[in-house]
Amino acid sequence: MTIVKINNLHKSYGEKVLFKDISFNINDGDKIGLLGINGTGKSTLLNIIFGKDDPDSGEIQIFGDQRIEMLSQDPDFDLNCTVINQIFQKDALEMNIISEYETVLSKVEKGEDGFRTRLLVLSEMMDSKGLWRYESEIKSILTKLDINQFDSRMANLSGGQRKRVALAAALISQCDLLILDEPTNHLDSDMVQWLEEYLNARKGALLMVTHDRYFLDRVTNHMIELERGYLQRYIGNYTSYVEEKTKRLAIEEASRQKNEKLYRKELEWIRKSARARTTKQKARIDRFEGLKEGLSDFAADYLDLKAPTSRLGKTVIELKDINKSFGQRLLLKDFSYIFKKNDRVGIIGPNGSGKTTLMKIINREIIPDSGEVKIGQTVKMGYFSQESETLNEEMRVIDYIKEAGEFFELSEKEKISASRMLDKFLFIGAVQYNYISRLSGGEKRRLYLLRTLMESPNVLMLDEPTNDLDLSTLQILEDFLDDYEGVAVIISHDRYFLDRVCQHIISFEGNGKLAHHTGNYSEYFEKKNRLSDDFDEKNEKSEKQSEKKVSRTRKIKFSFLEQKEFDEIESEIEKLEREIAHTESEAEKNASNYIFLQEMMKKKELLEAELLNKYERWEYLNELARQIEKQ
């Protein structure tokens, strides 16, 4: 079933054409990844489909009463709202009931008078409309995204926490098409893995922009790419896209070489022939211009990024017994590490664990509470921060790059101008004279990356470099790091990027403890899981006894229905498991009865879906209980 039909969309900003007459359908069950270089119009296309922006021409057809929900890169927030009320800021009656219930419940729990009668009325309305499960599901999603204080005001949350609240609001919406613009930004690895599983289990269509290639590979079944104003569609996940595009580029390369020969011939003719100025030869001139434009477009999509690095001495960076706390939060305890030449170190850990603090200690922006930071005399730092904080938006693009130098030496015999380097980074022609304020978020990140690299650091520190960069730029950055003759220290939640470039992992394990692992992220993750499985197997019996004891003795402050559900859910799970086993047994006994067998299989499928939901509820309720117990 078709949900949305996109017909001949055209969109420009001034002289810049984003896309030309693009058309495609989004059908129920499609899980589409949208690719394209920063500035090609990915977010604009998402906004047009959602209705936040208008095309110059073309139309969007939404069939029937299909509903669309969107997570944008810069969501709007009411900073005076609580988290739970921000989630339920919708016009629907059901949303308003849940929102008012949460507000009144909070007042009653704080001991405010005059709200108990209204709470009873709202509880009955929640019962009659079956909203308890809906309310519990959103709390479960928020907990998975590490948002545990549901009555916190949005103004008191960090930027990353606000983005995760917006993600939760999009996920809980009962929509037929879910649009997500960079959903993995501000998520740690565990959250990204959970989101993969959630989206794979979710019914309906999905359209998203993300730089996370593992995420794309595991979630999508279609890929579309905006390229030179046009749209290419590929069937399959990211791996299938790479395979098919490789084949297409091979064909295009053969065509390009043929066109280049023709272009040279046309160029020779058009320079020599006076008749080329006549009306009669206008068609041939037009063909020449078309060939010229086509070759230019083809070359513009591919970057060739190289930059010199200054020599590193014997001592690079040495950290010895570093300690750092902020108030009662211990981030680093007795941490030591010696960085070696050509080190590729990935720093991982949950949000807020101290990764950026460690990087700023290395960069001498933050002083540790104790310990020693030794920096070699030949070290030249290059720091690519999360905030692109060095960008002056009142400057022109070309002037910002020229601050690092009019020319850049690629070797002893070769140098390149600032303008040509901008060309290689897809800031072509008049764009170089735009003010930085006119660039998209991704274009600003690309410009900031170019400036960082062209300052020729021999120690390169990248704090979440994959956020807001397109895949083409990331691939070029990866190639650059392959040949980079310096030290690279990288904070990232992008598992593919860490696997691709890192040879050593430093992991924040909590309570100031940091662990070392030689190898890439996947090897670290596999080793961690293996050790965890061994530990679980040895301690499973004692842990179960401990959990039972805690569950009997602790007093948990749930709502009435949550408490009732918590008390009964384990017996309900056991009952469902028995019913599934019985259904399987009945199916085996009646294997020759096709009609009965079909009924049993359908019943089993429904029971398994209910059991999966119970498991998720059990996990949520136990996690909530642990959070309440800590308060």
pLDDT tens-digit series, residues 129-141: 777 777 778 888 9
pLDDT band at 549 (very low <50, low <70, confident <90, very high): very low
Q: Please identify which residue in the block is written with the tokens 């904070």.
A: 491
Residues 495 and 399 in one domain: yes
The H or E element that residue 420 is part of is helix 418-424
Q: Are 343 and 318 in contact (CB under 8 A)?
A: no
Q: Considering the domain boundaries, does residue 535 fall inside one?
A: no
Does residue 533 sit within a domain?
no
Confidence (pLDDT) at 267: 62
**274 and 209 in a common domain:** no
Residue 307 is assigned to a structural domain of this protein: no
pLDDT at 32 over 90: yes
- Domain contains 433: yes
421 contacts: CB under 8 Å, gap ≥ 6: 401, 408, 450, 454
DSSP 395-415: SBHHHHHHTT-SEEESSSS-E
Q: Are residues 571 and 515 in the same domain?
A: no
Give domain status of residue 532, yes or no. no
**3-state SS class at 383:** strand
Give the per-residue pLDDT at 136. 79
In a domain, 540, yes or no: no
CATH code, domain carrying 224: 3.40.50.300
Give the model's pLDDT for residue 418.
Answer: 85
134 vs 140: CA distance, rounded Å? 10
Q: Are 116 and 91 part of one and the same domain?
A: yes
Q: Are 384 and 461 found together in one domain?
A: yes
Question: Is 513 found in the same domain as 402?
Answer: yes
Query: Is a pLDDT exceeding 50 seen at residue 5?
Result: yes
Q: State whether 488 and 612 are in the same domain.
A: no
**Which CATH number characterizes residue 603's domain?**
1.10.287
Same domain, 430 and 511: yes
In a domain, 435, yes or no: yes
Q: Number of structural domains, the chain? A: 5
- The confidence score (pLDDT) of residue 550 equals 44
User: Which residues span the domain enclosing 354?
Assistant: 317-519
Least confident interval from 9-18, 169-178, 306-315: 306-315
Find out whether 506 and 359 touch, Cβ atoms under 8 Å: no
Residues 322 and 441 placed together within one structural domain of the fold: yes
The letter for the amino acid at 469 is L
Q: What is the CA radius of gyration of the chain?
A: 29
Of 37-51, 113-127, 588-602, the range with the lowest mean pLDDT is: 588-602
Answer yes or no: do 404 and 340 share one domain: yes
Same domain, 421 and 452: yes
Average pLDDT for residues 232-240, to the nearest whole number?
Answer: 91
Predicted confidence (pLDDT) per residue in 65-108, tens digit:
889 999 998 888 888 888 887 887 765 667 678 778 878 888 88
Q: Same structural domain for residues 383 and 475? A: yes
Confidence of residue 537 (pLDDT cuts 50, 70, 90): low
pLDDT tens digits, one per residue of 577-605 = 888 888 877 777 776 665 676 677 778 77
